[in-house]
Amino acid sequence: MLIEVSVTPKPGLVDRNNSGAHRDMGFFTFMKSAASLHSCFQEFAESGVIAGINNIALSKFFTNIRRIGIRAEENMFEATHGINTHKGEIFSLGLLSASAGYLIGRKKLVNSDSVMNLAGKICSGICEQDFRDARNKDYDSLTNGEKIYLEHGITGIRGEAESGYQTVRNISLPALRKYLSHGLSLNDALAFTLINIIAYSHDTNIISRHNIIIAQEVMNTCKNILDGENLSIKALYELDEDFIRRNVSPGGSGDLLAVTYFLYMLDIIA
């Protein structure tokens, strides 16, 4: 979380340079939020170890993970005075921390592939379960995620988790490894990795703020930057100015950037 918010520039997102397309939060808001969550992630991992040792069914394990997630969100909102800084990262990093712990408890191999695979199994059926009743609700009572699912069939972070984080597996983790192998600094490698995530995944935060057309335009813009002959940090600063002006915030992509770095580091220390 600390690495993710520190990467600069992150077009439309909070970084060390500015608050992106946000008016209610800044760099230090994220510092306070991350600090409040340290013990929660330890609890996610420890719960995984215990569940693995006792061979707890994955469906029951997921219920336990969600309880920890609720408490983590309470900590976050208390630290930020009600501002949502890390809800998406609590879900994904909590799930992945717990998955790593579960594998440790089962004395299984722990690396990015095994953790993503287990996370997908734990979340099997989550989209069907969470979106099952959306069609029968009054439109005004729907969450943004439910509206986007009903209108476009996009499942957001739930679908990403249920797929075993295919965007991370196929796009962002290979991109980060490539940029670092080419000698880029960690900051720049992660900044360019973020552009890969925005370019090749549907960011529900952009859709909820705007619409699917704007989201597709943003994806195409990022693809053009990646396909250009001179990929540069300067281009990302210019994109940041554009996103701020247009109120574009790829928050879901920022969450996947944190996931990408977590899994990258997991492979190094495993």
Domain parsing of the chain, residue ranges: 2-269
Distances (CA, A) of 188 to 9, 180, 201, 267: 9, 9, 20, 20
Long-range contact pairs involving 120-124 (C-beta distance under 8 Å, separation at least 24): 120/161, 120/162, 120/163, 120/164, 120/165, 121/58, 121/164, 122/58, 122/61, 122/62, 122/65, 122/95, 122/98, 123/62, 123/95, 123/158, 123/161, 123/162, 124/58, 124/162
| pLDDT given at position 130 | 86
Q: Is the pLDDT of residue 71 over 80?
A: yes
Q: Is the pLDDT of residue 140 over 90?
A: no
| Mean pLDDT within 165-189 | 98
| pLDDT given at position 234 | 95
Percent of the chain with pLDDT over 70: 100
| Mean pLDDT within 156-171 | 97
> Which class for 1: exposed (0-12), middle (13-18), buried (19 or more C-beta within 10 A)?
buried
Q: What is the mean pLDDT of the chain?
A: 96
Q: Is the pLDDT of residue 230 over 80?
A: no
| pLDDT given at position 133 | 81
| pLDDT given at position 270 | 76
Q: Is the pLDDT of residue 157 over 90?
A: yes
Categorize the per-residue pLDDT at 93 as very low, low, confident or very high, splitting at 50, 70 and 90: very high
More confident of the two residues 105 and 144: 105
More confident of the two residues 137 and 217: 217
| pLDDT given at position 60 | 94
Q: Which residues contact 249 (CB under 8 A, 6 or more apart)?
A: 12, 13, 20, 21, 22, 205, 206, 209, 243
Name the DSSP class of 171: I
More confident of the two residues 257 and 230: 257
Percent of the chain with pLDDT over 90: 91
What's the CATH code, domain 2-269? 1.10.4200.10
